Amino acid sequence: MITDLFGRTLDYLRVSVTDKCNLRCAYCMPAEGVSLVPRRAVLTFEEIERIVKIFAGLGVRKVRVTGGEPLVRRGIVDLVGRIVRTRGIESVPMTTNGLLLAQFAGVLKEAGLSRLNVSLDTLRADRFAEITGSAGLPGVLEGLRAARDAGFRRLKINAVLIRGFNDDELFDFADLADAWDFDVRFIEYMPFGGTSWDRGKFMPASEAVARLKGKFDIEPLEKRAPSDPAYAFRIPGRRGTIGFIASVSESFCQSCTRLRLTAEGKLIPCLHADVSLDLREPMRKGATDEELGALVQEGARLKPRAHEDFMKNFSAEAARKRKMISIGG
């Protein structure tokens, strides 16, 4: 088992399989762009498979495939199949921007992918272009249809809540959840390196919940798992659910079970702490599975009790160091 210094058992690994992306979301990608890591610095499929096996041997049961945009990595379906077949791994979901889903949904389902989270912040084409730099909204909607047709159930939609940008679409997303039977999750806008974050654009989840309550008779839902960071509601008589991930205004660090692996093989114990541990070089220099397992345990012990309070202590300098595009959300 992987446990940290504060008694949390870490059984969920998020693997970023590439730092490349076919979108340029203003809240994720620094305005100046990111310098892509050289190809040889990125973990090969064999290396990812080996690391996942080591994590599975230490009790990890869920591996989320993320990026950058995971669907731009060549051979991604093969990689998903390898992770799915790893002994001990029970669930392999993916977070994607959906742009290439129409092409991939069927083969991902066949490869055994468990679930899809599709990031979509607006249902309006002009706003989509403004926030992502792409005219891709119809492609994402086509991808959602393809995913549903391929048999993916209860698709999750992740929308970053941005005051003055999409906070007036709350009810539209509630309609989307009903029409498609989706689980919509609004994520509080987190400050990341070089992005367009500022306090004025931040809206706490509590404010959005209050607006929803003003219009609907919402019913809180039981959490599916204690480590689920979202609190969710259903609207009686409607399908789907609406939830909120209040990562900025309410910390859920206490129940966090996650570890992250970057495309370059760095273990990141906390999304918001400036600590990491390299697994790639020791692996390439011939470390045994036992030695790598010991490094994973060492990385887990770097996990802080809780992350800083962003709203009180926002430091542009500290935020600049953390790049969501590299860490994978």
State the minimum distance, in angstroms, from the CB of residue 194 to ligand SF4.
12
Choose the contact partner of 29 out of ligand SF4, ligand SAM, none; CB within 5 to 8 A by kind. Answer: ligand SF4
Q: In whole angstroms, what is the distance from residue 117 CA to residue 185 CA?
A: 10
State the minimum distance, in angstroms, from the CB of residue 303 to ligand SF4.
23
- Measure CA 128 to chain center: 19
Nearest 10 degrees: Cα torsion 127, 128, 133, 135: -120
Closer residue to ligand SAM (CB): 67 or 265: 67
Closer residue to ligand SAM (CB): 189 or 233: 189
What mask of x and - would describe binding to ligand SF4 in positions 1 to 40, judged by CB under 6 A?
--------------------x-xxx--xx-----------
Choose the contact partner of 92 out of ligand SF4, ligand SAM, none; CB within 5 to 8 A by kind. Answer: none
State the minimum distance, in angstroms, from the CB of residue 158 to ligand SAM.
4
Enter the tokens of residue 323.
């790049």
Choose the contact partner of 187 out of ligand SAM, ligand SF4, none; CB within 5 to 8 A by kind. Answer: ligand SAM
Q: In whole angstroms, what is the distance from residue 250 CA to residue 293 CA?
A: 32
Choose the contact partner of 166 out of ligand SAM, ligand SF4, none; CB within 5 to 8 A by kind. Answer: none
Does 233 engage in binding with ligand SAM (CB under 6 A)? no
Q: What is the DSSP letter of 89?
A: -
How many angstroms separate the Cα of 318 from the Cα of each of 40, 194, 269?
28, 10, 17
- Other Cβ atoms closer than 10 A to 31: 9
How many angstroms separate the Cα of 117 from the Cα of each of 70, 88, 94, 183, 305?
12, 22, 6, 9, 27
Helices of type H across the chain: 45-57, 76-84, 101-111, 125-132, 137-149, 170-180, 205-215, 280-284, 289-300, 310-313, 316-321, 324-327
Q: In whole angstroms, what is the distance from residue 262 CA to residue 241 CA?
A: 31
Pick out residues in 66-125 that bind ligand SF4 (CB under 6 A): 67-69, 97, 119
Point out which residues pair with 94 in neighbouring strands: 65, 116
**Which range touches ligand SAM (CB under 6 A), out of 45-53, 163-171, 226-234, 320-328?**
320-328
Helical pair 170-180 and 205-215, crossing angle rounded to 10 deg: 70
Pick out residues in 1-40 that bind ligand SAM (CB under 6 A): 21, 27-28
What mask of x and - would describe binding to ligand SF4 in positions 42 to 71, judged by CB under 6 A?
-------------------------xxx--
Site residues, ligand SF4 (CB under 6 A):
21, 23-25, 28-29, 67-69, 97, 119, 325
Site residues, ligand SAM (CB under 6 A):
21, 27-28, 66-67, 69, 95-97, 119, 158, 160, 187, 189-190, 192, 195, 324-325, 328-329
